[in-house]
Structure formats: structure tokens, C-alpha cells
């Protein structure tokens, strides 16, 4: 894999983990996600003047992406309400790369060497291991939380494939990404207003600065990923992106001085092995 693409996708993963670590809204999880998506749309809007309008062939992919992202927001927020974020999130993010790899092979014809598959499996195994913070905790995950986490994984797989194909169809990843963020931010805002009513606006807007910071980081993270999927296999990029879970786990260790448990070390080793194998793909 090209070292520059490898490096910037890891940077995107760090951005993704950063806005998750920085943004701690005292809001309904869905409204917090909407605020971040809206912030990304607001930041993207002025930049539309510097990119072409995507060609007609790309618009069905943009529309499908907005719909699948809406499903992702709803599924992720429902998973957060139903279970422990520290375990639900890795299940959602860890399952998605395998789904995306299989979908990429079937739909896009992207095939990997045994080294590439081994890298994806090692990385996913490390992500899952990060969710196992105690011997019997998995037994306490209720079925509803697991169901929403797996639903979220399906939507991650879908929008990854859709956006990878859509950006390639558009012929300009930057145009596709910016238009996607503007439309997505507007659409999910309308969905939130229909779902919750205008009465939630004052409470949500009290957090507008945090939403804007989260939106900038979210925009930067996924913009890089969309571009990378036009120059590298979609599933490889999707797998690399999930190292955000490792960054999110290491941030409390580095900043909050949380203990570095043996499971975290083992998970980090698996993820590093996966990264090395993917780099050699």
C-alpha cells in the first residue's frame, strides 16, 4: 500500500477518535450526532464554490449515501441508549471491515492477497479485544444493544461501499465529499426537527462550538477516507479507518493516566500486526 495513503488514513482515524474524545454532549445521543453532522455541513458549504458539481452519474450514490448515513446515525444513537458505549462501539466498528471486505469482493471485484486478508482479520480481532474489559462483561450485553450495534455495522459497510464507488464515479473525490457533507448535514437536521420538534433547538445550540469543532474533525476524517477509497481498495481503507478505536482507547491512557491493562496491550499488538500486513498488501 502506498505509504502516503497509509499515513493519511491513520491520521483520519486519529481525527475520528479525537472528536469522539472531545465531544461529550449532555444531549440525547442522536441530537449530539446531528449537531456534529450539521457542523460539518456548515463548514463544507463555503468550499462548494471551489469544486465542480458532481456529474449526474454520481448523484444516485450521493442520495444512497445520505440515506445510509441517516440509518447509521439512528442505529448508533440507539445502540448508545441500549448498551455500554465502550463495548457497543467496538462491536459496530469491528464487524464493519469484514462486511466491507466481503462486499467489496462481491460487488466491486476487489480481491486481496492472503497477507491483506490476514491483516484485516488481525486488525478486527484487535478491535474486538478492546471491548473485552472484564471476564464476564460480554454476558451482560443485552440483545437489543448487540442488534443495534450490528445494524450500525451494516450501515457502515453500506456507506463505505457506496461512497467508494460514488467518489470514483464522480471522478473528483473532493467534490463528492463536500457535496455529501452539505446534503447530509441538511437532511439529518430536517429529520431531527421532524422527530423532536423545534423545541430542542435552543438546548442543542448551547453546544454549537463543540458541534463545530466535532464537525471540522469529522469532515477532515471522512474527506480523507473518501479520497483514499478512490486510490486504494475500499475494504483496506475501511479497515485502516477502524484503528480509530485504538486511538480512542489509548487517549485515556496517555492523558487521563488510566491503567494499561494486558488486554489493551494484546489488542494493540494485534492491531499493529494487522497494520503491518495491510501496509505490505
What is the per-residue pLDDT across 200-255, written as a single tens digit (0 to 9) for each? 888 888 888 888 888 999 999 999 999 999 999 888 888 888 777 777 666 666 66
Least reliable range by pLDDT among 45-59, 112-126, 261-275: 261-275
pTM of the model: 0.84
The number of folded domains in the chain is 1
Question: What is the tens place of the pLDDT at every residue in 145-200?
Answer: 778 888 888 999 999 999 999 999 999 999 999 999 999 999 999 999 998 888 88
Q: Dump the DSSP string for the chain.
A: --HHHHHHHHHHHHHHHHHHHH---SS-HHHHHHHHHHHHHHHHGGGGGGSPPPPGGGHHHHHHHHHHHHHHHHHHHHHHHHS-HHHHHHHHHHHHHHHHHHHIIIII-----HHHHHHHHHHHHHHHHHT--STTGGGG--HHHHHHHHHHHHHHHHHHHHHHHHHHHHT-HHHHHHHHHHHHHHHHHHHHHHHH-GGGHHHHHTTHHHHHHHHHHHHHHHHHHHHHTTTS-HHHHHHHHTTHHHHHHHHHHHHS-----HHHHHHHHHHHHHHHHHHH-
Range of the domain at 19: 3-280
What pLDDT does residue 141 have?
A: 57
Amino acid at each position: 500500500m502506498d505509504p502516503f495513503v497509509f499515513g493519511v488514513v491513520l491520521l483520519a482515524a486519529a481525527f475520528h477518535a479525537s472528536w469522539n474524545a472531545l465531544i461529550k454532549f449532555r444531549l440525547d445521543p442522536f441530537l449530539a450526532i446531528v449537531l456534529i453532522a450539521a457542523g460539518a455541513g456548515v463548514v463544507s458549504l463555503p468550499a462548494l464554490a471551489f469544486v465542480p458539481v458532481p456529474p449526474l452519474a454520481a448523484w444516485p450514490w450521493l442520495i444512497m449515501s445520505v440515506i445510509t448515513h441517516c440509518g447509521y446515525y439512528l442505529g448508533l444513537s440507539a445502540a448508545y441508549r441500549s448498551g455500554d458505549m465502550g463495548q457497543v462501539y467496538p462491536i459496530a466498528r469491528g464487524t464493519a471491515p469484514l462486511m466491507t471486505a466481503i462486499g467489496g469482493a462481491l460487488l466491486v471485484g476487489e480481491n486481496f492477497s492472503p497477507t491483506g486478508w490476514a491483516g484485516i482479520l488481525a486488525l478486527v480481532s484487535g478491535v474486538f479485544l478492546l471491548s473485552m474489559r472484564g471476564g464476564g462483561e460480554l454476558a451482560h450485553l443485552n440483545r437489543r444493544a448487540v442488534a443495534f450495534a450490528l445494524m450500525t455495522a451494516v450501515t457502515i459497510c453500506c456507506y463505505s461501499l457506496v461512497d467508494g464507488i460514488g467518489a470514483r464515479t464522480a471522478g473528483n473525490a473532493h467534490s463528492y465529499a463536500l457535496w455529501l457533507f452539505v446534503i447530509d448535514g441538511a437532511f439529518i437536521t430536517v429529520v431531527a426537527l421532524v422527530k423532536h420538534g423545534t423545541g430542542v433547538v435552543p438546548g442543542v445550540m448551547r453546544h454549537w462550538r463543540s458541534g463545530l469543532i466535532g464537525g471540522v474533525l469529522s469532515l477532515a476524517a471522512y474527506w480523507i477516507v473518501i479520497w483514499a477509497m478512490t486510490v486504494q481498495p475500499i475494504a483496506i481503507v475501511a479497515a485502516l479507518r477502524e484503528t480509530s478505536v485504538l486511538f480512542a482507547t489509548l487517549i485515556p491512557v496517555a492523558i487521563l493516566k488510566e491503567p494499561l491493562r494486558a488486554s489493551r496491550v494484546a489488542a494493540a499488538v494485534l492491531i499493529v500486526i494487522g497494520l503491518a500486513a495491510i501496509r505490505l498488501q
